[in-house]
Structure 1
Amino acid sequence: MTSITQAVEFDADDEETFVPALGETHSARAKQILRDHPEIRGLIGRNPWTAAVTAAYVGIQLAVAVAFGWAGASWWWLALIVAYGFGAFLNHGLYVVVHDATHNLIFRSRFANRVVLLVADIPQVLPGAMGFRACHLAHHSHLGEMDGDTDIPHAWEARLIGHSTWRKAMWFLFFPVFQVLRVTRVRGVATPDRWMIANYVVNFGFAGLLGWFAGWTAVLYLFASFWFAISLHPLGARWVQEHFTGDEVHDTANYYGPLNGVALNIGYHNEHHDFPSIPWNRLPEVTRIAPDYYLTLPSHRSWTKLLIGFITDPAQSLWTRTVRPEAGGRAAGA
């Protein structure tokens, strides 16, 4: 198994560009794997037990939030510590639930999957499930395309952060803000509809009721859990791990570390892009059946090591994100 340890070389005097990808690899690899291992078709399906995981994660988070709310505002500092060391992991797991519900991998009914989306999003405080659904489906259909993939940073974003250690740390800390701003580049992806309106009503309505019933420290705990789950935290390294490969051949990398347990196997990212109709609990089985296809791809064993390395290594930057050259891959032209 290989590990990405170096980014592309850069010259500060040259205009930097995103790393160009040679071509889309996932569909071709999936076809080859199915020819060699047709039994993988048996893994395709749904996992309704994900709804039980959702109920457990949401229930635990709400219980902890209420406890902090009843403890009083003076315990805000402990709420932040617990949110970083505990709550972030559950909120991140709920994002993975949203991810699987986006692909309709929980129930057969699309309506039921969207209900799960709404429920899983409640502890995030800020409504994002329906917006994520639209952007993520576009991410799959337009992977690495500047005009269709909101996972790619803005060119101005990459120039602003550059190779500076403290700026990269700030980029991680405020990643939720940068992610929202990317939607403005890809127009028409997340258009308002009744489900998005419902998302806003449910999240803000529940946050208001929680604050009134238990106290605003409860809301603070949930909001901090949401923020830490996707920002300056080992879990936040996932955003770099998935597609910041600095590799023209491989535009997706995996994470095979222990946090996949609580993160519902989201680290099996090549497997997911190859077979997006396989639910999270069966992705390790794909790797077990076809190790020759996956264990030779770029991967990481530690999100913490990746986070620290990306921030401190001057060769690493947002320019390491792989894009399709035919989609306007040059940063300057983005």
Structure 2
Amino acid sequence: MAPPSSSSTTTSASEAPKLEKTIRLNGKGGEKAQDGSSDLKRDPVEVKYREFFWTYTEEPHRTRRLAIIKAHPEVTKLCGPEPLTIYVVLGVVALQVFCAYTLRNTSFFSPYYWLLAYVVGATANQNLFMAIHEISHNLAFRSPTANRLFAIVANLPIGIPYSASFRPYHLTHHKSLGVDGLDTDLPTALEAIFLDSILGKAFFCTFQIFFYAIRPMCVYSVPFTWVSAVNVLVQALFDVVILKTLGGNAMLYFLLSSFLAGSLHPLAGHFIAEHYVYETVTPTQKNPDNRIPVPETYSYYGPLNFLVYNVGLHNEHHDFPAVPWTRLPELNRIASEFYSELPHHRSWTYVLWRFIFDESVGIRCRVKRKEGGRLVGQRSDWKKNELEA
């Protein structure tokens, strides 16, 4: 769907076509000025979106990164690999193999089987999803090749090979944030048509792991490299060994853990919290011309970050992808004046709840741009792109 033409920086919900919108102020009285200059919070806001947010400016992270470096040049010293990631990954992989071993003779239909898969397995595999995300930025080893191969190790308890293809898709997400047709984190028009309801959003949240696995391949394909071949072969060998030695129940434990990790699980809230627009997230920022912008990245500041490599510090991560998880809190502390007033989340569980039941949040609540950034993985400079953090 092509964006409507506009001279403003962002087409917000109030400017989008086919929109139904009702606003209740927070009880302070008065009316909101047309230019958005009022300090009154829209709390609560009832909005039913019928269009994406289209913006005509570049993504905000490069601009903020340059501003932060200018104000705090010492932040560049935070960049570089974090060896602790290696030991955490090996420990979680070992934990998952041990759990699969304990369940080898337990019925798939046993409540204990599902409880262990949800509480331990889904948490562990979500940790490994985020480990692969961390490693995709070359933040475990200094050697790019070592990072590619170690991501394959982290992939093992997930059951399905995906670490090799994840990296080019994810780097494109960074370099082309919100670009229609390039950023595969964006919902497709088909998803927006069929999932724009409470039942549709509940279906999306329950099976979002499949959307994130299948959607990229439907948008564009990345080259099949030697790393991809190793990823497939090693994963297939691991799966066969598990089936032969521990049996089908053990293998199903890995697959169920992966499914639950991307379903109605508290940690799965980060998939939605990172880039979906939640208007009532506090506080609201204003840009210099006094218009209220639509933020396109949101951080989460809560205890669950401990389990997933601080992925909740998502504005910080997009501003500085080369800063590892252990140093993102320090980045936030040093550049606190840049982050303290940005809209953010406090609960991933509440993010999921609101996404499903609140009509002001939906599949179309994403910021899109028609062009900008670039595709990683389909050009002649593939090898160069592979080495970029």
TM-score by length of 1: 0.90
Match of 2:77 in 1: 42
Match of 1:205 in 2: 237
Greater relative contact order (Cα < 8 A, sep 6+) = 1
Percent of counterpart pairs with the same letter?
36
Tell me if structure 2 keeps the 8 A contact 1:6–1:315.
no
SS in 2 for 1:221: helix
State the Cα RMSD in Å: 2.0
Return 217-226 or 56-65, whichever deviates more.
217-226
Tell me if structure 1 keeps the 8 A contact 2:178–2:186.
yes
Match of 2:258 in 1: 226
Tell me if structure 2 keeps the 8 A contact 1:4–1:298.
no
Distance in 1 (CA, whole Å) between partners of 2:295 and 2:313 is 14
1:235 is the counterpart of 2:267: yes
Match of 1:167 in 2: 200
SS in 1 for 2:48: coil
* Cα distance change, pair 28–8 in 1 and its aligned pair in 2 (3 A): farther
Whose Rg is larger? Answer: 2
* Cα distance change, pair 79–44 in 1 and its aligned pair in 2 (3 A): same
* Cα distance change, pair 237–5 in 1 and its aligned pair in 2 (3 A): farther
Shift of residue 78, structure 1, vs aligned partner: 2.0
Shift of residue 4, structure 1, vs aligned partner: 11
Q: Which runs of 5+ in 2 are unaligned?
A: 1-40, 280-292, 373-389
Shift of residue 267, structure 1, vs aligned partner: 0.3
Return the match for 2:185 from 151, 155, 168: 151
Distance in 2 (CA, whole Å) between partners of 1:231 and 1:134 is 24
Return the match for 2:51 from 9, 17, 20: 17
The 5-angstrom pairing of residues 25-64 of structure 1 reads 25-64=60-99
Distance in 2 (CA, whole Å) between partners of 1:244 and 1:74 is 35
Match of 1:105 in 2: 139
Task: Give deviations 1:13-62, integer Å, cap 9, x for gaps.
Answer: xxx22112343110110111111111111101111121101100100011
SS in 2 for 1:73: coil
Match of 1:265 in 2: 310
Distance in 2 (CA, whole Å) between partners of 1:262 and 1:4 is 33
Match of 1:289 in 2: 334
Task: Give deviations 1:51-79, integer Å, cap 9, x for gaps.
Answer: 1011001000110111101x333664422
Shift of residue 191, structure 1, vs aligned partner: 2.1
Shift of residue 204, structure 1, vs aligned partner: 2.4
Return the match for 2:323 from 267, 275, 278: 278
Return the match for 1:310 from 351, 355, 370: 355
Return the match for 1:116 from 150, 153, 156: 150
Tell me if structure 2 keeps the 8 A contact 1:246–1:321.
no
Task: Give deviations 1:77-134, integer Å, cap 9, x for gaps.
Answer: 4222211112111111111111111111111111110111000000100111112111
Match of 2:13 in 1: none
Return 109-118 or 193-202, whichever deviates more.
193-202
Which structure: greater helix fraction? Answer: 1
Tell me if structure 1 keeps the 8 A contact 2:46–2:359.
no
Distance in 1 (CA, whole Å) between partners of 2:61 and 2:348 is 23
Residue type at the aligned position of 2:180: M
Return the match for 2:210 from 177, 200, 217: 177
Q: Which runs of 5+ in 1 are unaligned?
A: 328-334
SS in 2 for 1:288: helix
Distance in 2 (CA, whole Å) between partners of 1:214 and 1:5 is 54
